[in-house]
Structures are given as structure tokens and as C-alpha cells.
Structure 1
């Protein structure tokens, strides 16, 4: 019998119904296609529109802009179900939990009305292009430029590791509008990719894990984008905009990590209970029980901490340091737990037909994206300095 989990004070009937809808969608319409998507390194485009039909896109965006009219809790329960189902071939976090909120927070009314309804329906897939071949976490070093020429910006540069990049119809691109100003010279431009001259997508990138997710390079060669597409009313606000949204992004990463961690434990308990060794089950060995006890403890701590962070976010009290704690600790813990669970599975744990092998491979990048965990610790350290 599994251990009872603590009641979640923020969960209500509406959120429970949304979670059930998301669970059915991921389990029945996505899980059976994961192997196919992994082989082709991207999901089918139609899955985005299907998610939109079910109300699983932009649930935290007001209904006036085509969204679900909910909040971060609605996004969190969908993220949790996606993590539990091990469906990582497309990123709802990037699309709904992050990009949509850049538009909601900084976009003009015209921009919101132009793009958010299409994102909510799945007619537009969203991506964020920050990382470059020579600049990752340190966004001040980006080289992609945007020069104002009449009523357009002219973009030149390249971005890499872009999640949702293959299908992306709308990309938020971090650019230097003034290369002499460091962070104060960074701006965000919204780029519609359809029939855009000078824009091209690179090959699908071969990754160790998350092989079904469409991750590509993007190239901009004298791409002309209307000046109207600048996010915010003035240039040079991009770095501040990014910093303001990162706590939300990092909390959603932690939500997914905590859910996947519990899935890893549950699968391993089921395996150890039926696996025979020395005339008894693998679960009968004290070593197995103790290891799983440690893993379950870490999963329970992760969920409790994430729930506390969620409550802080709802109260407007989630600071950058606490979000960084949640992001680094849960992603580190997921890697530890996944490794222990692979070991308990033995040779089968290294076979991709077993979910635990995919969890193990997919988990590693969590310590890198959203800001590396070393950077998370630096953010925390700065907050505790006297």
C-alpha cells in the first residue's frame, strides 16, 4: 500500500477536474506515441491543436485573450500530470507557463489580442530563443543583434537548444538592440516565423534524453521584423523582463521534477514487489527497502517544498532565491532518485523499454536548463550574504 500523501490546501474540485482531463490526454493520446516521436525527434503538429481543444494551453491567461481564465495553479496541475506521464516531447511550460506570460505581462493590448488566442487554441506554437552557441546562462554575452531600420528591426544571429523550435510559429528572441550597454542593451522581440525571409531552422538536435522533443537551432540573416513586435514600450528592458519571469519558470521546472520523482519511486516499488530473487521478492531485501525509503522521503520533501513555493507565489512572495532553491534541489534530487531506481531495476533499468531508463536519461538536463544549478546556488548565496 502506498504511503498517504499530505492534503494540498490549494487543490479544489475545479483543479482536480483539470488534472483528470490532463491525465487522460497524456496517457491516452501522448504516451502511446512517445516511441514514434522519439524516433522522429519531434511530436506531431496536431497534438498542439488537440491540447488547445481540451483547454490545456494557456490555462492561466484571461478569457479575454482566449485563455482559460485560471492562474498558476492550473498550469501547475497540467505540468504535474505531464511530468508524471513522462511526456516531454513538447513543452507546455515554455508555451503556456512562460511565453504566454511574457506577452501578458509586457505586451501591448494589440499584441495580446494578436497572439494569445492563437496560442491558446494551438494554432500557434510558442518558443523562447535566448541561448546562443557562445552564450547560455550569461545573457549579457548574447550576440544576436536587432538594428532599427525605419519601421522594422533587422535581426542577425543564431540561437541554439530551442525547445519547441521545429513547430514554433511565434518566437520570443533575446537580442542586443545596443551592444554597448551590456544587460541594459538586451531587448525581447516577438518573431512570427511564417514565410519570414532570412529565417531558417537548423537540424533537429540529437540529445541524450528527451529525444522526442523538437530541439533545434534557429538562424536569422537580415530578418526584418516590425518594430511593433518589440516587447515592452522601450528598448533595453529585456534583461529585466527575463529576470522577473524566471522565478515562475523555475518553479514550474520544480513541479515537473517532483512529479517525475514520485513516478520513478512508484514504478520501482511495483518492479521490486514482483521481481524474484533468492526465492523471494526483491522488495524483501533490506537494502532495497532502505533505498526506496530514502527515495520516497526525497520525493515527499520535494512535493512539500514545491507546494510551499506555490503558496508563496500565490501570495506574491516567491523571491528569486527561493525559486532557485526549488529548481536546483528538485532537479538534483530527481537525478539521485532516478539513479537509485535504475540500480534497483538491475539490467532492466538500462533498457529503454522500461520507463525508469527514460526517466534517468531525461532527468539530467533539468540541472542545466532554466539556469544551471551552479547559477542557482550563486543566486541563493547572494541572497544570504550579510
Structure 2
């Protein structure tokens, strides 16, 4: 599905040079200051990284899913907080507009998102609605030409930097489930929006989250995505399917970097008169890590290609997200073990990755939620007479 291999290779080379020359040298500064230098953010804009998934007609790069995950593999060889600053715009912040927005909404917002002028955040999670997204309580009540929004959103990535929110709110209070949820584009500067203090997290310093509080915030009715109530939950689920493939690619890229650092240390560190890389038990950890990274990479590329072919990849996206993020956690744990005491020390960087990648198994749906999705989809397929794996997964590769 790669449309132009030469152009893609040039993009991957540019990202790789940027990672080596700018991002990796800045990792310690970001960890220390809890901020990405503005100059680096500007360079990311100039590289087009904010517009990876936005069509060329709106000023983006318009990458296919396979192309996008290949770029993410390279980008996430640096600290994943750099990816986080573009992640909500590339993924869950903009894709709802792209998938279900009106032509006017797309034209108004997508060019500004692609250029990085606006950073988009996805406001779905609430204090009492995380995995159970259909139970959200934030309300949007129609009042003339606008909706009045009240409620609190929690752990919203890039909220302090956001220019707009893709907001999920309940427009039908009588409908307690998913059918009562609608999606809105909300200007982050709107009166009635307040922000909690930045969350103090286990890791991911430089990537900021906080509560977003809506108190009688008026949102123009024209900002209802698709101008149709009750479609918000479906929009969110479509966005999350794509986002799960993206996060799986993030986990693959981070795991590659972690293993590379651990390998270099194992070759240089000597014990009992030889590099520790010569010890068979260390080699076993190296081999297990490489094999799992390779398996996850193959899964992500396969699922991305299926999505590019127009297939329903809900099951495959959850498989990728579950396996790749769990894999990354195991690779990080083995790397700490290979480095021994040095792995526990901040100066070597592995402990930072160990903390940072722990998040991957939580956001975009926890591992346990992915297990539920996979099992329920397979049970549904069985009841409908569809072969396991979504049809033809182990045969010719054609959709059955």
C-alpha cells in the first residue's frame, strides 16, 4: 500500500536524522525541565509531523496507515514524549473531524491542525468514565444556536497546549448509553473552560495532562461534528481503532531503542573478564526481546495494510495494541535487568524508558479492555458464521 517508496524512504531518512541529531540529545533536558524546547516543536511542524494523517488537500502529508506506523517506528526511537506532542493532533484529536466532520468543519480546522498552528486534544475520559466510555456524564444541552456544556474531563493529553478539543458529551439525557453521546469541536479559549493543575505522573515528563472543566461553556451548534447528534460514540470508536495501531507502533519503536541501548551496554560492560553480552543468560534476554519486537512489528504492519485495504480491523487493532504494549514492558524490564544496578540509575536512561512505557498498557484502552474486545469480537463472529480472525486471516489474505 506504499504509494511512493522513494518519497517514503526520504521522509523516513529525514525523521531518522531528526531523531538522532535533535531529539535524542535533548532527552535529558526534557526530563529535567518537564518541557519540550519550543525550537524542537517548531522543527516538528516544519517536518510536517503534525499533519501525518491529514490529507494533502488540507495541507497534511496524507500518509496511509502503513506509512504512518513506519514513521512512528522511527520517531519513537527517541523518548516517546516527543511523539506525544504531535500524537493527539495526528490521531484522536483530528481524526474525528476527518472521519465524520462536515466539509466546512474539515476546511476550517484540518489545515491549521496539519501545520501545527492548532494542537488538538481528545476529551473523552472522565473521573467516573474511563474504560466505560458510554457512561460519560458531561452534558451538552441545546440552547438556541449553541450547546451549553457542563462536566469534567480527566487525564487529557496536551490539554495545557490545546487549541481545540474534540469533546464527547451527552446530548440526550434520557439515553444513558452510547446512543446519547455526541462529538463537538470546542475552541480551548472558550469562556467557561477551566484547567486543573498539571498531573504529576510516573513518567512521560514533557508530555502534559490535566483535568478540563466545562462550566456553562457555550459551543456553537455548527461545531457539532457532522451536525448530527448521537454519533459521538461511534466516532470515538472509529478514532480509537486507528489510535490503537498508532500506539502499537509507538511501543515497537520504543522497544527497539531500549534494546539498542541495552545491547551497547552489554557489549561494553565487562564481568569475569569478558563482555556480559557473552553470557548465555544475557543472550537469552536479548534474543527474547528481539523476537518479540519482530513479532509486534509484523503484526502492526499487517493490521495497517488491512486497514488501508478498507477492512474492519477492530480485532486486529486490539491484538496489536495488547501485544505490542505488553511486549514493550517486557523488553524494558529485561533491559533494566541486563544493566543491573546501572539500569536503576537515572544517568543511563533505561529507568526513564521503564517508567515512560508503562503508560502504553493503560491509555487508548487498557490491556484488559483489549482482551474483552478481542474475545467479544470473536464470539460475535462465531455467532454470525464468520471465520475467526475477521475472515481469511490464515488463508489467502483476501476478504471473505
TM-score (norm 2): 0.90
Residue by residue over 1:330-363, the C-alpha shift from the partner in whole angstroms, topping out at 9 and shown as x without a partner, is 1111111110111010111112222321221111
Residue 257 of structure 2: aligned partner: 263
Secondary structure of 1:147's counterpart equals strand
- Find the aligned partners of 1:126 and 1:9 in 2 and give their Cα distance: 27
Residue 26 of structure 2: aligned partner: 33
- From 212, 230, 235, the equivalent of 1:236 is 230
**Equivalent pair of 2:318/2:373 in contact (CA under 8 Å):** yes
Secondary structure of 1:98's counterpart equals coil
- Find the aligned partners of 2:293 and 2:17 in 1 and give their Cα distance: 23
Please identify, of 272-281 and 21-30, the stretch whose mean Cα deviation from structure 2 is larger: 21-30
**Equivalent pair of 2:19/2:77 in contact (CA under 8 Å):** no
In structure 2, list runs of 5 or more residues that go unmatched.
383-400
Residue 190 of structure 1: aligned partner: 185
1:129 partnered with 2:129: no
Residue 73 of structure 1: aligned partner: 66
**Equivalent pair of 2:150/2:216 in contact (CA under 8 Å):** yes
Residue 377 of structure 2: aligned partner: 383
- From 296, 302, 316, the equivalent of 1:322 is 316
Change (3 A) 1:384 1:96: same
Secondary structure of 1:220's counterpart equals strand
Residue 283 of structure 2: aligned partner: 289
- From 180, 202, 205, the equivalent of 2:199 is 205
Secondary structure of 2:94's counterpart equals helix
Residue by residue over 1:218-270, the C-alpha shift from the partner in whole angstroms, topping out at 9 and shown as x without a partner, is 11111111111101121110011111222211111111111111222121111
Residue 273 of structure 1: aligned partner: 267
- Find the aligned partners of 2:66 and 2:300 in 1 and give their Cα distance: 12
- From 353, 370, 385, the equivalent of 1:359 is 353
- Map 1:39-78 to 2 at 5 A: 39-45=32-38, 47-78=40-71
1:20 partnered with 2:13: yes
**Equivalent pair of 1:142/1:176 in contact (CA under 8 Å):** yes
Secondary structure of 2:169's counterpart equals strand
Residue 3 of structure 1: aligned partner: none
Residue 216 of structure 1: aligned partner: 210
- Map 1:92-131 to 2 at 5 A: 92-131=86-125
- Find the aligned partners of 1:109 and 1:19 in 2 and give their Cα distance: 31
**Equivalent pair of 2:80/2:254 in contact (CA under 8 Å):** no
Residue 294 of structure 2: aligned partner: 300
Residue by residue over 1:18-65, the C-alpha shift from the partner in whole angstroms, topping out at 9 and shown as x without a partner, is 112222333333333333333443434554443222222213322221
Residue by residue over 1:71-101, the C-alpha shift from the partner in whole angstroms, topping out at 9 and shown as x without a partner, is 2234223322221112314342321133222
- Find the aligned partners of 1:279 and 1:11 in 2 and give their Cα distance: 50
Change (3 A) 1:170 1:256: same
In structure 1, list runs of 5 or more residues that go unmatched.
1-7
- Report the aligned-residue RMSD: 1.8
Task: Count the aligned residue pairs.
Answer: 378
Residue 220 of structure 2: aligned partner: 226
Residue 388 of structure 2: aligned partner: none
Residue 339 of structure 2: aligned partner: 345
**Equivalent pair of 1:200/1:220 in contact (CA under 8 Å):** yes
Please identify, of 325-334 and 70-79, the stretch whose mean Cα deviation from structure 2 is larger: 70-79
- Find the aligned partners of 1:358 and 1:322 in 2 and give their Cα distance: 30
